[in-house]
Structure 1
Amino acid sequence: MHDDPNATCPVARALDLIGDRWSLLIVRDAFDGVHRFSDFQRSLGMSRSMLSQRLQALQASGVLVQQPAADGGRYQDYVLTPKGQALFTLVVALRQWGEAFLFAEDEPRSQLVALADGQPLAPLLPRNRDGQVLDAVATCVVKPTA
């Protein structure tokens, strides 16, 4: 038996956790203020069993927690943990990539804007520690040695 070639890859580990469509859409909806099971189901149109499975996995991995409903009702809310909140940059990056490459120029689409001024967010760009924008050819992956 040989070692998994992806075992040391942070991208592979992240995809193992949140790389399926439904998990990322649940996280997206949580950022958009969805907190209840029935609201996730209505928004996503997925089966109860699949939603339950994905919510349990996101809780087990520490992305979501259940807590008493904010309105004091008998239901539980699903809330992003700090680990889940840290996925905001990923969701924004996917949104910006989708806006740039998956819509015609005049095609209607949802838009993410800053509350303070109502303007779209600036494009996310990888930068070095000095703030210079980097593209892929200006980087390399350093793999751990055995």
Structure 2
Amino acid sequence: MPNRETINNEPCPVARCVDVVGDRWSLLIVRDAFDGVRRFGDFQRSLGVARNILSDRLRKLVNASILEMQDASDGTAYQEYVLTSEGETLFPVIVALRQWGEQHRFKPGERHSDLIDTRTGNPIPYMVPHAEDGSVLMPATAVVRKLA
């Protein structure tokens, strides 16, 4: 298993990303943060995760500058976890995972939550990568250029 130094020097962006948000709890914490969850107890209730695991993942996400701690917005003595601008850039990742799940983990007609564009009231369109000319990129039309 690679150690921390090996991961930090990994030339693959996917490997470095997965090191920070590649486990179930971290991604679900980020998902909940997009849904407005901000307090430790609310994350715990939403996720049903053990306190020690939640504490570890929140600390890891704060250390990675994905979440930051702020004084509670209601003036109480609590601290809240909020997405940083860097954390907000994970939105397309969460959307892509959601859309993959909708396509491949639900039976046709099975009910699930929807992600809605607040400006139109409609579900957001399916995300796909596009080339400079606007054409859809498929796995066969993209390649990773490895470091020599």
- TM-score w.r.t. length of structure 2: 0.92
- AA in 1 matched with 2:112: R
The residue that corresponds to 1:55 in the other structure is 58
> Segments of 4+ in structure 1 off by > 6 A?
none
SS in 2 for 1:72: coil
Matched, 1:123 2:126: yes
TM-aligned CA deviation for residue 130 of structure 1: 2.6
Q: CA RMSD in A?
A: 1.4
The residue that corresponds to 1:13 in the other structure is 16
Structure 2 unmatched ranges of 5 or more: 1-5
Which residue among 31, 34, 37 is the counterpart of 1:34? Answer: 37
TM-aligned CA deviation for residue 9 of structure 1: 0.8
TM-aligned CA deviation for residue 117 of structure 1: 1.6
SS in 1 for 2:52: helix
- TM-score w.r.t. length of structure 1: 0.93
TM-aligned CA deviation for residue 129 of structure 1: 2.1
Matched, 1:66 2:58: no
What count of residue pairs does the alignment treat as equivalent? Answer: 142
TM-aligned CA deviation for residue 105 of structure 1: 1.2
TM-aligned CA deviation for residue 8 of structure 1: 1.0
- AA in 1 matched with 2:53: M
TM-aligned CA deviation for residue 36 of structure 1: 0.3
Structure 1 unmatched ranges of 5 or more: none
